[in-house]
Structure 1
Amino acid sequence: MTIGFIGTGVISEAMIRGLCDVAGYTDQIVVSKRSFDRSKRLSEAYSNITICETNAEVVDQSDWVFVGVLPDQVEMVLQALSFKTTQKVISLVAGVGLNDLKRYVYPCEHVIRAIPMPPIEFGKGPLAICPSDQAFETFANKIGVVVSINDEDQYNLFGAASALMSDFFAQIASVSNWMQLHGLDPAASARYASALYESLAFLATKESAESLSLMSDACQTPGGLNEQFFTFRQSCGIDQSLHDGLNQILERLKSNE
């Protein structure tokens, strides 16, 4: 099977590297010239990757086509191409709904939306898809944790939650910087903060949906350090600001569809 990428941005590159390095994908991959330096780097790193001169060549040669262009470019780029009924189109673009995508790639009817995250390069992290598709789920489970859903409104919740990424990294950096302000070596600060967040996130993946909400309480010994810090943060409205921020992103995603 040949897969193709229209738009070779950061997420497309992470996905391709995950497929080649983690999943051991050796079938043909064709990529567009958009972000040429990145496409060239990938073609030099992997013998099964070929750069196409045009997006039309990507579509013509691919069984599955991944779309990774900017949201305001999707309509123009896709409607200029000729898709086949036998193809599968996977959109990595935020804010462009299934109905519009199907209209842009007609007569192709096998259209999926997906949200891969950068850690997919290392076979880590969630990969939300809508609608459910067994063939693509089997394919994607090799490079991430697939969470599939058929309700597109609920799928937007995954899109909104993915906007936490910048805030997450900023929080780790802030903890590291705080330790440095108190005299700790920068390398030791960064190593400790990164390992702390990684290990706590790992524990969360081992919990059931029911027990996830109980993890915070389980850490809070009465009168202990965790309880003190948690109580202070709650008094600052940390939960409310989180929900308010996510609601803003959700409304933005809905308004774009």
Structure 2
Amino acid sequence: MKRIGIIGVGEIGRAIVVGLCEGAEEPPEVFLSPRGARTAAELSSSYESVRVCADNQAVVDRAELVIIAVRPYDRQEALTGLRVDPGKIVVSLLAGVGIDELRRILATDVPVVRAIPLPPVRERDSVTVTCPSHPDVDALFERLGGALPVEDEAAFSVFSALTGTLTTHYSYLATLASWAVGQGVPAEVADRYVRSLFQGVGRSLGDEGRSLAQLAADHETPNGSNERVRTTWFNDANSEALGKVLDDLLARLR
């Protein structure tokens, strides 16, 4: 796709533009809605192939593939009345909004694909879940780190629920650093060490020859420190509580 439109230029919209354009020999033309005006203006001044349109309809008219990245509760205001002509492809990043509902809002029968891009697409280093598989949409996200098509929206919702754990992970790391500060370690030293510790864990995740359970087992010794923390803090009750939260989130997303 050579002409891509983005309606709703927030953090994910920015990441997609940077991933497509930064250092690219032949970046696509990207048309941005005026929604998120400051970010849109920054991107258009940074990349020659990026333009800000007068309104959302202009984005749809000029693009071959339109990415909808507004907040879910803004969808009616942002999308009602838009005309989506045949030949377009719509990619929805709206969490909890199914394909049928989006078709009703847009009054269109063009291909609609749901996707879950994450901020690391800016470095072209993040797999994006898509549903249903579409060659042009999957090719777009392959450029941004990889596409992971799933069979149906029920499976897609499971992956959407998993993304809801991201900030919990960051808060877990912040809690570790805060504990170290409470033990007298300077804040900047604690922060640096915790970041380094878990960046190493991130690199080990690249070893797809070992399951996640095997990676956990390989990083602890019997009666060692890691086993002690895992078995006393992340116990069965803790695991069940996390599963319950995810079950509730999945029910809401579906």
When normalised by structure 1's length, the TM-score is 0.92
Aligned-residue CA RMSD in angstroms?
Answer: 1.8
Alignment-mate amino acid for residue 219 of structure 1: H
Cα deviation digits, residues 74-125 of structure 1 (max 9, x gap)? 2443331111210110011101101122233343421100011112212222
Which position in structure 2 is the counterpart of 1:177? 178
Q: Distance in 2 between matches of 1:172 and 1:223?
A: 23
Alignment-mate amino acid for residue 154 of structure 1: A
Change (3 A) 1:116 1:25: farther
Q: Distance in 1 between matches of 2:58 and 2:174?
A: 43
Q: Establish whether residue 120 from structure 1 lines up as the match of residue 113 from structure 2.
A: no
Which position in structure 2 is the counterpart of 1:189? 190
Q: Distance in 1 between matches of 2:105 and 2:26?
A: 29
Which position in structure 2 is the counterpart of 1:33? 34
The answer to whether the 8 Å contact 1:22/1:142 transfers is no
Which position in structure 2 is the counterpart of 1:222? 222
Alignment-mate amino acid for residue 17 of structure 1: V
Q: Establish whether residue 251 from structure 1 lines up as the match of residue 251 from structure 2.
A: yes
Gaps of 5+ in 1: none
Q: Distance in 2 between matches of 1:179 and 1:124?
A: 31
The answer to whether the 8 Å contact 2:116/2:160 transfers is yes
Gaps of 5+ in 2: none
Report the Cα offset of residue 23 of structure 1. 5.2
Matches within 5 A, 1:61-140: 61-140=62-141
Q: Provide runs of 4+ in structure 1 moved above 6 Å.
A: none
Which position in structure 2 is the counterpart of 1:10? 11
Change (3 A) 1:96 1:195: same
Structure 2 counterpart SS, 1:191: helix
**Identity across aligned pairs (percent)?**
28
Report the Cα offset of residue 155 of structure 1. 0.4
The answer to whether the 8 Å contact 1:22/1:123 transfers is no
Q: Distance in 2 between matches of 1:219 and 1:79?
A: 52
Q: Distance in 1 between matches of 2:85 and 2:71?
A: 23
Report the Cα offset of residue 211 of structure 1. 2.2
Q: Distance in 1 between matches of 2:26 and 2:181?
A: 43
When normalised by structure 2's length, the TM-score is 0.93
Structure 1 counterpart SS, 2:6: strand
Q: Distance in 2 between matches of 1:92 and 1:8?
A: 12
Cα deviation digits, residues 161-204 of structure 1 (max 9, x gap)? 00011101101111111112222222221121112222212212
Structure 1 counterpart SS, 2:155: helix
